Amino acid sequence: MTLIPLQTKADDSWQQQLRDAIRSPAELAAALGLEPSRLGFSAQADDDFAMKVPRAFVGRMQPGDADDPLLRQVLAGSAENAPHPGYSDDPVGETGAANPVPGIIHKYHGRLLMTVASGCAVNCRYCFRRHFPYGENQLSRREWQDAIAYIRADTSITEVILSGGDPLVARDDTLSALMDALAAVPHVTTLRIHTRLPVVIPDRVTPGLLRAICRPGIATVMVLHSNHPNEVDTTVAAAAGRLREAGVTLLNQSVLLTGVNDSADTLSRLSSALFGAGVLPYYVHLLDRVRGAAHFAVDETRARELVGELAVRCPGYFVPRLVRESSGEGSKRELTPRYPY
């Protein structure tokens, strides 16, 4: 089959790349030079959680490889349809009391999360928020003010985490206004942004974005999300460089996924690629038990062994903390690595 070119034009905006994301299995198969039947696409899984993947990310997949680790993360497959006990729509307890006002998730002391946007640039099949009630957390102007008032009223909150969806799908002027409002709250000293956009669409890191998210007197931390070394190419490294030059502290979190990064070699190469791009490995998460993602799970014992192997192979600053997040707990729980003998 003939490969469809994936390069974007030099003048393409990140918004256009969002609009041009691949959503059909036929288009994805054509881009990778695969017969559609080899993908194992499931219309039922796609109806439950629509497939969406930017072309810049598809361009890092290996043509002709139906088992490519980046492809596995985004393809709506039949394994998602099988029921599994213990997997739910809200695996880490983000609804109910943890969602006190629209747009706010407040589970831990000293910090809370704002759902700035409901959409993402890419729909990862293991996403723990794939069933989150975003419709109940869309922020109107009044609800935006209520969310800021909630933060202002609780002086224990020193860090606000922008999340979603992906907060960077919001426009620069929206992010700038939010940053102004948060910077005006005296007890908020740190803004943390959890995002996959600089990885899947590196062109999102524009001068306008940097102006929007950086303010004197408040630290800006960005936690990127990449799971495999093939995700971290020269365009991602360049975007990370622009962020660092603006004074943004860069960390990375990964999810341990069967068939994607469940080997010490892959994890060590990921840490090396991240460090080369100026990003410090921060967390590697055990899979959150969200309905539709059980086929990605790595056993906790094996996860401990993998991180133990990584610690033997690599310097300490290459080794992310292995954690699990559970509903009702006061923080993520760090799991001690099991070292090989």
For residue 7, the model assigns a pLDDT of 45
- pLDDT one-digit tens code per residue, 187-201: 999 999 999 999 999
Residue 195 near residue 166, CB atoms below 8 Å: yes
Distance between terminal CA atoms of the chain? 48
From 56, 81, 106, the end of a domain falls on 81
- pLDDT one-digit tens code per residue, 63-75: 999 999 999 999 9
Q: Do 163 and 74 have their domain in common?
A: no
For residue 8, the model assigns a pLDDT of 44
3 state SS of 104: strand
Mean pLDDT of the chain: 90
Q: Where are the alpha helices (DSSP H) in 201-246?
A: 207-213, 234-245
For residue 1, the model assigns a pLDDT of 38
Q: Do 220 and 108 have their domain in common?
A: yes
Residue 230 pLDDT > 70, yes or no? Answer: yes
Residue 178 pLDDT > 60, yes or no? Answer: yes
The letter for the amino acid at 157 is: I
Q: Do 121 and 216 have their domain in common?
A: yes
User: How confident is residue 137, by pLDDT bands cut at 50, 70 and 90?
Assistant: low
For residue 5, the model assigns a pLDDT of 43
Residue 52 pLDDT > 50, yes or no? Answer: yes
Residue 3 pLDDT > 50, yes or no? Answer: no
User: How confident is residue 113, by pLDDT bands cut at 50, 70 and 90?
Assistant: very high
Residues spanned by the domain of 30: 14-81
Residue 114, beta-bridge partner list: 104, 162
The region that residue 88 occupies, defined by phi over 0 for left and psi between -120 and 50 for alpha, beta otherwise, is beta
Phi–psi pair at 82, nearest 5 degrees: -80, 130
For residue 10, the model assigns a pLDDT of 43
Q: Where are the alpha helices (DSSP H) in 99-233?
A: 141-153, 172-183, 197-200, 207-213
Q: Do 152 and 256 have their domain in common?
A: yes
328 lies in some domain: yes
- pLDDT one-digit tens code per residue, 289-340: 888 899 999 999 999 999 999 999 999 999 999 999 876 666 678 898 888 7
177 lies in some domain: yes
For residue 90, the model assigns a pLDDT of 78
Q: Do 148 and 283 have their domain in common?
A: yes
Q: Give which of 284, 277, 175 is closest to 225, Cα–Cα.
A: 284
Strands 111-115 and 104-108: antiparallel
- Stretch 151-167: mean pLDDT: 94
The token pair that represents 63 in the structure block? 């043509």
Q: Give which of 249, 258, 254 is closest to 268, Cα–Cα.
A: 254
User: For residue 289, how many C-alpha atoms fall within 13 Å in the half-sphere facing its CB?
Assistant: 14
Q: Which of 16-25, 122-131, 142-151, 267-276 has the lowest mean pLDDT?
A: 122-131
Domain count, the chain: 2
Q: Give the separation between CA 124 and CA 96, rounded to whole angstroms.
A: 24
| Percentage above 70 pLDDT, the chain | 90
Q: Do 58 and 133 have their domain in common?
A: no
Q: Does the annotation list 314 as a binding residue?
A: no
How many Å is the Cα radius of gyration of the chain?
Answer: 20
Q: Do 247 and 182 have their domain in common?
A: yes
